[in-house]
Amino acid sequence: MALSEPVLDEGVVRLQGGRVDLVVVAEMVAPGSRVLDVGAGDGELLELLATTRGCDARGIELSREGVNAGVARGLAVVQGDADVDLAHYPDDAFDYVILSQTLQATRRPRWVLEQMLRIGRRAVVSFPNFGHWRSRLDLMVNGRMPVTDNMPMSWYETPNIHFCTIRDFVALAELLDARIERAVALDSSGHRVRVNMPWWVWNLLGEQAVFLLTRKG
Amino acid sequence: MTSFVQQDVALQDSAGASVLQARREADDPHSPVARFGARNPLKLDAGVELSHLQIAYQTYGEPNAARSNAILVCHALTGDQHAASLNPVTGKPGWWETLVGPGKPIDTERFYVICANVLGGCMGTTGPASTNPLTGQPYGLDMPVVTIRDMVNAQAMLLDHLGIDKLLCVAGGSMGGMQVLQWAASYPERVFSALPIATGARHSAQNIAFHEVGRQAVMADPDWRGGRYLAEGVTPHRGLAVARMAAHITYMSDQSLHNKFGRRLQNRDMPTFGFDADFQVESYLRHQGESFVQRFDPNSYLYVTRAMDYFDLAADHGGVLANAFRGSKTRFCVVSFTSDWLFPTEDSRAIVHALNASGANVSFTEIDSDKGHDAFLLHEPELTAITRGFLDSAARAFGLPAARQA
């Protein structure tokens, strides 16, 4: 498995002023690509992709407020539900389909990933890693569902219904016959976990993970 | 121009004078007119040619040197070309002054805005109330039935006449939105961006049913006289008023009617136990019906509602709506309103799914509003923000200079 060096340095990341994981996602996307961002929020990533990578970037977002904010900013965002609407996109419609911090909120994560790899040849997925040592500690020591900066809501009000760990995600990618081209884990302060660490360290130290998958064949 | 308008406002005092004024507008409108003689006929979907076509239109703002800043605004069923100018019959402001004007989202200081009265209308574009130059009599039912595509083809003739090759945007709500979709399907290379609001790619059975009620009301009026009322000097005003009352209910939501009127009584404390307009909502509908009669031609109502009923963009493309937009480079922004039950959000979603399937660049937003279908004509801050953002971004991509910062 090829693990990649960070392309942008931390200084650039800071300058962007946005979420570090979005910058990590953006640098995995080749300039000038056609991109669909699933769960686009208010369009922060779309704008980043359009302005810094020259992408033809479109979004789909569940919340009306997010969509309206994005469209008012001149971005192409469609109000819709990823769990249903991805079925309406044709095969190979995009170069990349991105799912940023949304996988855990979908009802059918496996179906969504399959659709992403059908609509685009490549998929970029970022998600909070439930295998992070603090999550494990919360469960083990306190017997409570973890609440962290990346997962700030209590279990009874969070939209997140399908948490997974980095290892779980790798297993799902294998199940879907997708190739992991690149993977980046970010620790709790947003720094990349060193690339020469074994998987179990990543799974312990990574609070967020970003994967670039390619459809095989 | 100003003196005409003042004169017309004065005419409002008498409903009869207003009807006369409206009839004059059908042939000789208070707006520029493009005339296409016998050698330049419009081929209609009905299989006949319409010669001596006349199109009445308004423009706002100025074209730039490259003539690349034009926006075509398409009006709804009973609208007209006066999108942002005083209506010569009613004396009221334009129907889309919420969005069109200096500094507004459809900014007349940046864009050259064109709005034409639709084919089959009664404000100066050829329709059943127009005089047929071959007979010297009003067309009446001799006017061939027209479709949304015919309306769009007529607008394309107008654009050729105005020297506009490509539109920055085509925008409109309801029937205007149908024209926007038809424009994008018929002339994709002439439409850089499209803003269809509160509309659908086809008229639903329920919508056709409501229109049929309206048409039957007009035709059941003894003064309709088989459509020859203009020649016989009468007007089926009662039938048209009932048609408008029924239609008006579909433009509002239950919530907006309730907010506006509830069950409040009109000018009385007790019901009369009769059939006067006891309730405020009755009196409001009667007023809507009566004022509509003063400005709209009953036969035109038949024709334009029919055009909407026949609209089915998918049927024109082998039953697959996505085929209507295949390969389209147009940027779309589809907008619906939560309380619109005439063109519910599902209709917009069907358009969006088709656009996605055809790979088009599309935005879609549903605006939370309790004002029903009419919301697209009313002050809705989210619609304002979305229209401004979408047009700014389209203008940028089209190579126009950025908007001046306020």
pLDDT in tens, B260-295: 999 999 888 888 888 888 899 999 999 999 999 999
Q: Indicate whether A61 belongs to any domain.
A: yes
Structure tokens at B300: 């035109």
Q: Indicate whether B403 belongs to any domain.
A: no
Task: Name residues whose C-beta falls within 8 Å of residue B387's C-beta, 6 or more positions apart in sequence.
Answer: B99, B105, B106, B171, B195
Q: Indicate whether A5 belongs to any domain.
A: no
Is B361 within 8 Å of A56 (Cβ atoms)? yes
From first to last of its 406 residues, chain B has per-residue pLDDT tens of 333 333 334 334 456 777 888 889 999 999 999 999 999 999 999 999 999 999 999 999 999 999 999 999 999 999 999 999 999 999 999 999 999 999 999 999 999 999 999 999 999 999 999 999 999 999 999 999 999 999 999 999 999 999 999 999 999 999 999 999 999 999 999 999 999 999 999 999 999 999 999 999 999 999 999 999 999 999 999 999 999 999 999 999 999 999 999 999 988 888 888 888 889 999 999 999 999 999 999 999 999 999 999 999 999 999 999 999 999 999 999 999 999 999 999 999 999 999 999 989 999 999 999 999 999 999 999 999 999 999 999 999 999 998 876 5
Q: From CA A130, how far away is CA B171, in angstroms rounded? A: 47
For B118, B334, B374, B376, the CA distances from B379, given in Å and listed in that order, are: 24, 18, 10, 8
ipTM of the complex: 0.84
- Among B353, B365, B382, the residue with its CB nearest the CB of A79 is B365
CATH of the domain at A86: 3.40.50.150
Ranges of beta strands (E only) in B300-373 are 331-337, 361-367
Number of domains forming the structure of chain B: 1
Q: From CA A158, how far away is CA B291, in angstroms rounded? A: 53
Collect all residues of chain A within an 8 Å Cβ-Cβ radius of residue B388. Answer: 72
Q: Indicate whether B390 belongs to any domain.
A: yes
| Domain coverage including residue B110 | 1-398
Collect all residues of chain B within an 8 Å Cβ-Cβ radius of residue A74. Answer: 389-390, 392-394, 396
Mean pLDDT taken over chain B: 94
CB contact under 8 A, A73 and B396: no
Q: Indicate whether A4 belongs to any domain.
A: no
- Among A67, A71, A76, the residue with its CB nearest the CB of B361 is A76
Q: Indicate whether A1 belongs to any domain.
A: no
Q: Binding residue per annotation — B244?
A: yes
Q: Binding residue per annotation — B349?
A: no
Is B9 within 8 Å of B22 (Cβ atoms)? no
Q: Indicate whether B404 belongs to any domain.
A: no
Structure tokens at B256: 């907006």
Q: Between A and B, how many CB-CB pairs are < 8 A?
A: 68
For residue A81, the distance in angstroms to the closest alpha carbon of chain B comes to 11
What digits encode the pLDDT tens for the residues A157-211? 988 889 999 999 999 999 999 999 999 998 877 888 877 778 888 888 888 999 9
| Domain coverage including residue A191 | 20-215
- Taking the alpha carbons of B229, B233, B236, B241 in that order, is the dihedral positive or negative? positive
Q: Indicate whether A147 belongs to any domain.
A: yes
- Among B353, B382, B392, the residue with its CB nearest the CB of A68 is B382
Contacts of residues A50-58 at CB distance under 8 Å and 24 or more positions apart, as own/partner, are A50/A75, A52/A26, A53/A26, A53/A29, A55/A29, A55/A31, A56/A32, A56/B361, A58/A94, A58/B361, A58/B362
Catalytic residues of B, by residue number, are: 174, 340, 373
> Helix, strand, coil: what percent of chain A each, to 5?
40, 25, 40
Q: Indicate whether A6 belongs to any domain.
A: no
CATH of the domain at B338: 3.40.50.1820
